């Protein structure tokens, strides 16, 4: 067939070669080249000896990143929401009480899933941009016993960090298991599952780990595993039944579903890179580049939503100045610079930008690129930045703070 006779792509069809982007939003982050190379390796079957060896390696490396020796530590075939569903549907039965701390979009999602599972859900809401108030949660519990206490460690919608140590103490007071959303924290900030005595923790592959989306790391404590084993009824989701999945990941490696060797190869490589860098060094890298970005944003006259003491280093929620069009600025960053940042969700829609420096994306070049591009976009909005953000970030790097 001649080139002139070849059929053209349908209008709106995904291009054969996707555009090159710099992913600086709330996720995904840019995968490392080694991760993409691992993804392209030959496929093997889900019960192939090489695949089973890979699963063992992933379990070991995830244990290191989670800081946990839990036997039920593996990665589900599914995004972070699959990890959320798995944690809740394995632990909750109809009529169980769940106390859910909501200070953003994803805490509200946890509450909704608990409700759909037939639990008695007590929701304690805090203003978006604030952390949940443990005293308010305790007051709402009113001395009752609960099956679960649920909270988000790093709230993706607001850039807010929740201290998990007082949440563990509260869960103990209520006789509850503590379920933690670590979707935006794993691989970016301290997360000590065993040291903090967390019961069920789930995350995702595409943020702090800088893998592709589609996998959800998860870990369950012995108390959580025992709770699953003592259920009165079967887990309502066959696909997310952790009893069955644990038999695939360990023991006899019993068939459960057709897991993708390519996706798990990519995750294995991403975890190898985390281990090679070292958790402490990785956490410090996120802190350093976030401080530089914050210095640049402040120099430009831009304010952040979260207070410094509860602010995530890996995801900053930036208040949009009055008179600046949210979608227009993000569109210009994407079209003119190939940079993706996120907009606000829920009540913060049109009020904040979310800029992520996660995993592979947390480095100096991205800090300077984001600040320079944002300066141009604000000029086009007739909002002249107060000072040069790149120079302010460079000064922070020079000071070594």
Read off the pLDDT band of 18 (50, 70, 90).
Answer: confident
Identify which of 121, 184, 177 has the alpha carbon closest to the alpha carbon of residue 158: 184
DSSP lists the bridge partners of residue 316 as 355
Give residue-wise pLDDT tens across range 313-345.
999 999 999 999 999 999 999 999 999 999 999
Helix runs in 235-316, H state only: 242-249, 261-277, 279-299
Give the C-alpha separation, 289 to 397, whole Å.
8
Q: What is the CATH number of domain 22-27+278-399?
A: 3.90.1150.10
Taking 70 as the threshold, does the pLDDT of residue 7 lie above it?
A: no
Question: Based on the number of CB atoms within 10 Å of its own CB, is 272 exposed (0-12), middle (13-18) or buried (19 or more)?
Answer: middle
Give residue-wise pLDDT tens across range 135-171.
999 999 998 999 999 999 999 999 999 999 999 999 9
pLDDT at 9: 55
Give the C-alpha separation, 26 to 36, whole Å.
20
- Provide CATH 3.40.640.10 ranges for the chain: 33-275
pLDDT at 2: 42
pLDDT at 17: 83
| Helix, strand, coil percent content, the chain, rounded in steps of 5 | 45, 15, 40
Residues 6+ positions from 146 with CB-CB distance below 8 Å: 97, 98, 99, 122, 171, 174, 175, 176
pLDDT at 14: 67
Give residue-wise pLDDT tens across range 100-128.
999 999 999 999 999 999 999 999 999 99
Give mean pLDDT, residues 182-201. Answer: 98
Comparison of pLDDT for 50 and 399, the residue scoring more: 50
Give residue-wise pLDDT tens across range 65-93.
999 999 999 999 999 999 999 999 999 99
Q: Does domain 33-275 have CATH number 3.90.25.10?
A: no
Give the C-alpha separation, 285 to 293, whole Å.
12
10 Å Cβ neighbour count for 118?
Answer: 13
Distances (CA, A) of 23 to 74, 333, 392: 26, 11, 22
Read off the pLDDT band of 12 (50, 70, 90).
Answer: low
* β-strand pairing of 177-181 with 215-220: unpaired
Helix runs in 278-380, H state only: 279-299, 326-337, 364-380
- Provide CATH 3.90.1150.10 ranges for the chain: 22-27+278-399
Q: What percent of the chain has pLDDT over 70?
A: 96
Identify which of 199, 214, 338 has the alpha carbon closest to the alpha carbon of residue 270: 214
CB 387 within 8 A of CB 300: yes
Give residue-wise pLDDT tens across range 236-271.
999 999 999 999 999 889 999 999 999 999 999 999
Give the C-alpha separation, 284 to 314, whole Å.
11
What SS3 class is residue 99?
A: strand
pLDDT at 401: 64
């Amino acid at each position: 067939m001649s080139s002139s006779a070849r059929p053209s792509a349908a209008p709106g069809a995904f291009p054969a070669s996707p555009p090159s982007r710099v992913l600086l939003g709330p996720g995904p982050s840019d995968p490392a080249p080694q991760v993409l190379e691992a993804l392209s390796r030959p496929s093997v079957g889900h019960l192939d000896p090489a695949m089973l060896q890979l699963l063992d390696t992933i379990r070991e490396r995830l244990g290191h990143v989670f800081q946990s020796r839990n036997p039920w530590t593996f990665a589900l075939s599914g995004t972070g929401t699959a990890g959320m569903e798995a944690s809740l549907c394995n632990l909750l039965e109809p009529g169980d009480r769940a106390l859910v701390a909501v200070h953003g979009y994803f805490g509200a999602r946890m509450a909704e899933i608990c409700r759909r599972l037939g639990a008695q859900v007590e929701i304690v809401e805090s203003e978006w941009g604030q952390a949940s108030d443990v005293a308010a949660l305790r007051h709402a519990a009113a001395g009752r016993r609960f099956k679960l206490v649920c909270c988000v460690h790093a709230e993706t919608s607001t850039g807010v960090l929740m201290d998990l140590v007082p949440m563990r103490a509260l869960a103990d007071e209520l006789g509850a298991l503590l379920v933690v959303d670590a979707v935006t924290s794993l691989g970016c900030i301290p997360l000590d599952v065993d040291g903090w005595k967390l019961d069920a923790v789930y995350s995702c592959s595409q943020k702090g780990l800088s893998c592709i989306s589609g996998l959800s790391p998860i870990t369950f404590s012995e108390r959580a595993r025992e709770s699953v084993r003592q259920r009165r009824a079967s887990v309502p989701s066959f696909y997310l039944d952790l009893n069955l999945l644990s038999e695939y990941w360990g023991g006899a490696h019993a068939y459960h579903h057709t897991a993708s060797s390519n996706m798990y190869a990519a995750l294995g490589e991403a975890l190898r890179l985390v281990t090679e860098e070292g958790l402490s060094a990785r956490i410090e890298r996120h802190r350093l580049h976030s401080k530089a970005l914050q210095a640049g944003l402040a120099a430009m006259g831009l304010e952040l939503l979260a207070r410094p003491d509860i602010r995530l280093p890996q995801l900053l929620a930036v208040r949009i100045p009055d008179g600046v069009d949210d979608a227009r600025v993000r569109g210009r960053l994407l079209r003119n610079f190939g940079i993706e940042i996120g907009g606000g969700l829920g009540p913060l829609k049109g009020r904040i930008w979310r800029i992520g420096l996660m995993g592979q994306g947390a480095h100096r070049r991205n800090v300077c690129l984001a600040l320079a591009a944002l300066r141009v976009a604000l000029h086009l909005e007739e909002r002249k930045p107060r000072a040069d953000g790149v120079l302010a970030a460079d000064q922070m790097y020079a000071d070594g703070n």
